[in-house]
């Protein structure tokens, strides 16, 4: 996939913001998904097993079986403009650039797949950029996401003779603007669907999981997810029996952070909770893991245990006004002295 050109915008800007997200395959087809998963799952940040142990499993089993299944899932969420994740991220980049008054170039790049971090950095440098703010789009720091995104940039810098001045964003899980943005998304949803009735309905904050072992090795991700959820519940005035936190998207057989989203929703359905509203606060943009796994698969699981129940998926921040205000506040703070 080609990266966007720099014509007409910010001809004079020597400062750029590079938004980085995980990435998607180039197409919802098995071959493209295989290439993407090969890059993704070969990253030692993602699977921390010794290479001699992991590579035979990856190439001998996973890359033979998963691409076709994942391709089908991607086909279900693909849009006319491509992968929802990439579409949302490029919309965010464009709107954030406008909000910053064109004084800073804003681009989106993907850690795995395209547009690659290396190609976008090359374009920025060729356009005269000398200062870059690297902005992984993950509020809660995880080595598998935030650090992996930064690795891609630093690894590319190591191949360049002239590197730009660099600043990085580590996370923003407790930033008031982040909590406000999420709270306003939930309130906008309540304005349309009504607030879940205490005693009958509950709100679930579902975060992407990571292996329990990574947490034990010192990853602050779990603690940051819990803090974000507590702050958000307080901002929304939700009492302890009105909300829950869970972890989704488990991959492989190891134990991941718990409770698992599927178990939580099944248990709530069995308990007779009549309405469940799910928000995925750790996803800056809707993607396979929210649209297919939550809005489709999880909805089906809940309705299978509680057929009369009501299930709402609350969309991610995406390129909403609340999201742009959040990113603008963070960027202005982090670029102090640069523009």
Q: 104 and 17 in contact (C-beta within 8 Å)?
A: yes
Q: Which one of 154-162, 227-235, 287-295, 331-339 is the stretch in contact with ligand L6N33NVT (CB under 6 A)?
A: 287-295
How far is the C-alpha of 11 from the C-alpha of 105, rounded, in Å?
9
List the beta bridge partners of residue 168: 134
Report 71-90 residues binding ligand L6N33NVT (CB under 6 A): 83, 85
Residue 326 CB, shortest distance to ligand L6N33NVT, in Å, is 16
Pattern 34-53, binding to ligand L6N33NVT, x per CB under 6 A? Answer: ---x--x-----x-------
Structure tokens, 304: 């299978």
Pattern 203-242, binding to ligand L6N33NVT, x per CB under 6 A? Answer: -----x-xx-------------------------------
Question: Which of 115, 96, 110, 133 minimizes the C-alpha distance to 15?
Answer: 133
3-state secondary structure of 149: helix
List the beta bridge partners of residue 109: 20
Question: Which of 298, 309, 237 minimizes the C-alpha distance to 273?
Answer: 309
Q: 139 and 178 in contact (C-beta within 8 Å)?
A: yes
Size of the site for Fe ion (CB under 5 A): 2
Question: Of all residues in this chain, which one has the CB nearest to ligand L6N33NVT in the complex?
Answer: 287
End-to-end CA separation in angstroms for the chain: 31
Residue 251 CB, shortest distance to Fe ion, in Å, is 6
CA-atom Rg of the chain in angstroms: 20
Known binder of ligand: residue 289?
yes
Binding site for ligand L6N33NVT (CB under 6 A): 22, 24, 37, 40, 46, 66, 70, 83, 85, 138, 142, 144-145, 208, 210-211, 251, 282-283, 287-289
Binding-site residue ranges for Fe(2+): 208, 289
Binding site for Fe ion (CB under 5 A): 249, 289
């Amino acid at each position: 996939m080609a990266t966007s050109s720099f014509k007409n915008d910010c001809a004079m800007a020597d400062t750029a913001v590079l938004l980085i997200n995980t990435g998607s395959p180039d197409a919802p087809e098995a071959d493209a998904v295989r290439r993407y998963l090969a890059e993704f799952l070969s990253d030692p940040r993602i699977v921390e097993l010794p290479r001699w142990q992991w590579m035979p499993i990856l190439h001998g089993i996973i890359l033979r079986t998963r691409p076709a299944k994942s391709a089908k899932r991607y086909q279900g969420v693909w849009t006319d403009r491509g992968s929802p994740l990439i579409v949302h991220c490029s919309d965010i980049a464009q709107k954030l650039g406008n909000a910053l008054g064109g004084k800073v170039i804003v681009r989106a790049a993907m850690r795995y797949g395209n547009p690659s971090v290396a190609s976008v950095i090359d374009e920025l440098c060729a356009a005269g950029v000398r200062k870059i703010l690297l902005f992984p789009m993950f509020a809660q720091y995880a080595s598998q996401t935030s650090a992996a995104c930064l690795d891609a940039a630093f690894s590319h810098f190591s191949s360049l003779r002239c590197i730009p001045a660099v600043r990085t964003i580590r996370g923003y899980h407790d930033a008031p603007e982040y909590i406000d943005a999420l709270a306003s998304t939930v309130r906008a949803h309540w304005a349309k669907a009504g607030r879940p009735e205490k005693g009958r309905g509950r709100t679930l904050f579902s975060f992407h999981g990571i292996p329990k072992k990574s947490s034990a090795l010192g990853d602050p991700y779990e603690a940051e997810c819990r803090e974000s959820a507590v702050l958000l519940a307080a901002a929304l005035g939700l009492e302890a029996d009105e909300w829950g936190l869970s972890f989704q998207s488990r991959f492989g057989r190891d134990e991941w952070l718990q409770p698992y989203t599927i178990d939580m929703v099944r248990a709530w359905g069995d308990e007779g909770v009549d309405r469940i509203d799910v928000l995925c606060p750790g996803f800056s943009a809707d993607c396979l893991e929210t649209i297919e796994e939550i809005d489709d698969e999880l909805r089906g699981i809940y309705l299978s245990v509680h057929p009369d129940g009501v299930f709402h998926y609350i969309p991610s921040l995406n390129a909403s006004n609340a999201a742009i205000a959040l990113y603008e506040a963070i960027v202005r703070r982090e670029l102090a002295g640069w523009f």
